[in-house]
Amino acid sequence: MYRLPGTGRRRRAACVLPLALAVTATVTGLAQTAVAQPSPNPSPTAVVGDAHPSGAHRLAALPGGERLSMSVALRPRHQAALDALVKTVGDPHSPSYRHFLTPDQYNARFAPGTAQLEQVESWLKARGLTVTGSTANRQTVTVTGTAEEAAKAFGTSLSRYQDANGRHFFAPDTAPVVPTALAGLVRAVTGLSDQAAAHRTSAAPATAGAPAAPAGPGGPGGGYTPAQLAKAYGLSGLTGGFDGSGKTVGLVEFDGFNQSDVNGWASHFGLGGIPYKVVPVDGGISSVGDPLEANMDIDAVAAFAPKASQLIYEAPNTDAAWTDMMARIASDDDIDVLTTSWGNGESCASSSLISASHDSFNQMALQGVTLLSASGDRGAYGCAYAGDYTQQMVYPASDPLFTGVGGTKLTTSDSAGTYSGESVWNNSNDNS
C-alpha cells in the first residue's frame, strides 16, 4: 500500500519528506467489589470527558479493584493569545510568520503554571489517586488508582460494555466531572475507558483491492520502488538532492515493527542503515502484534529522506497514552515533522483525547513542526470497525493543524515510473 509523498514547511530549512503511510487505561485484574454509583454531589461540576458510546450495550459494573492508569490534561494559559499566534506564525502575510518558539519560550508564555499544576496534583492526591509524573511543559499529569477511586474522584461509575461488533471494553456510565473550581485548570481526563484510542488507517489487504503495481519490474513484492515513486511525482526537481540530513521525523506507533524486515528492505534498495530510535511512552509496547503499519511508515520516510533521523514513539493503545505521547512530543521538541498512520473516526475518538491533544498540536505548530496524518483508506467511514457507517472525517487528519494524506492507486507507463494516472482509494467495510 502506498500514500502520496509530499512537502512540509520546516523550522530551519525547506525539506521534502514523505507525508504519511497511511491513551485510556492499563488494567490488572484485582477483582473486588463493583464500582458503586457515585453519591449525589451538591457541588457544581464541569464535564472533563466522555460517557460510554451511545450504541454500546452495558454488561456489568467494573470491579472496583481494577487498576487504572489515567492522564489529566491541564489547560494552557492565555488561550486567545495562543490561538492567535498559531494562526499568524503560519500566515505569510504576518510579521510573525515562521517566527517559531522554543519550548522554554512556549512554557513561559502559554504552558500551565507551576501553581496550576500543584493545585491539580493536590486535588488528585486528596482523592486517593497516586500522581506518577507530569510532562516538562506541565500539560499532562499521569495518575494511577483503582476503578473505585477513579470513579469517586471524577463523579461517575464504570461498567463493562459491548459494541455493535462484539468488542468488550469498560467505560464511564456518565461523563466524568471535576468541581467548577478546577474547570479553568483541567482540560480533560483520559484513562477511564480501555477502548483502543487509534486504529490502523490502512485497510486490511482483503478489502484494499488489487495493489498498485508499476508497468515493469518493481520491488520484490511487486510494488513500487523508491526510485519509481520519485520519478512518478517528480521529486528530484523538488528536493534538489536533499536527502533529509540533519532533520528528524517523528512516527506515532501503537504497535511494534520488525527490525530485520526494515533493515532488509533498506539494504535491498541500497539505502544503508536507517537512523532510527525508539522512544517508549507510558511503558511503550510490550510485544509486537502486526508490524506491517510501522514497517511501512519507517520504509516510506527512508525512501524519500534516507538520511533523516526517525524517532519512533511507541505507546499502549489507550487514550491516556495517546494524550501523554502528544504532550511528550511537544515538550521534547526533538522533531521537525510528525507523521501518523493511526487514527479514528471523529465520532469514535474521545472528545477528551481530541481537546487535550489539540493543545499539544498548538505547541508543536508554534515550534515549527509539520503535522501529517493519513486520512484513512476507509474513505468517510472511519468508525466502520465499530459498526458505525456515519460519514465523517478521520482524526487527527481532521484537526485543522494537520495535513491529511489520502491513499491512491497509482498507474505508471513504464518501468522507470513515469506517471500515467491515479485514482482515489476508498474502503469502508473493514472491521479491523
SS3 state of residue 172: strand
SS3 state of residue 37: coil
407 phi and psi, to 5 degrees?
A: -80, 145
Residue count (the chain): 432
Give the pLDDT of residue 53. Answer: 84
Give the pLDDT of residue 40. Answer: 46
Q: CA–CA separation, 338 vs 313, rounded Å? A: 10
In 275-325, DSSP assigns E strands to 276-280, 309-314
Q: Map out the domains of the chain with their CATH numbers.
A: 5-22+199-424 (3.40.50.200), 45-76+111-190 (3.30.70)
Give the pLDDT of residue 385. Answer: 78
Pinpoint the alpha helices (H) of 61-131: 79-89, 103-109, 114-126
Over residues 140-183, the pLDDT tens digits come to: 999 999 999 999 999 999 999 998 888 899 999 999 999 999 99
Of the candidates 335, 266, 337, which has an alpha carbon nearest to the alpha carbon of residue 295?
266
Set of cell numbers at residue 339: 507523521
428 or 367, which is more confident?
367
Over residues 387-406, the pLDDT tens digits come to: 788 888 889 999 999 999 88
Q: CA–CA separation, 180 vs 165, rounded Å? A: 37
The mean pLDDT of 210-234, rounded to a whole number, is 77
Specify the DSSP class assigned to residue 9: -
pLDDT-based confidence at residue 316 (cuts at 50, 70, 90)? very high
Pinpoint the alpha helices (H) of 161-203: 180-183
SS3 state of residue 377: coil
Over residues 74-99, the pLDDT tens digits come to: 999 999 999 999 999 999 999 999 99
pTM here is: 0.85
The mean pLDDT of 196-214, rounded to a whole number, is 63
Whose cell is 466531572? That residue is 177
Determine what percent of the chain is predicted with pLDDT higher than 90: 61
Give the pLDDT of residue 30. Answer: 32
Give the pLDDT of residue 406. Answer: 83
Alpha-carbon separation of residue 359 from 112, 121, 188 (angstroms): 11, 19, 11
Give the pLDDT of residue 219. Answer: 75
pLDDT-based confidence at residue 318 (cuts at 50, 70, 90)? very high
Do 322 and 363 touch, CB atoms closer than 8 A?
no
Over residues 338-379, the pLDDT tens digits come to: 999 998 988 888 899 999 999 999 999 999 999 999 987 777
Q: CA–CA separation, 259 vs 75, rounded Å? A: 39
The H-or-E segment that residue 250 falls in is: strand 248-253
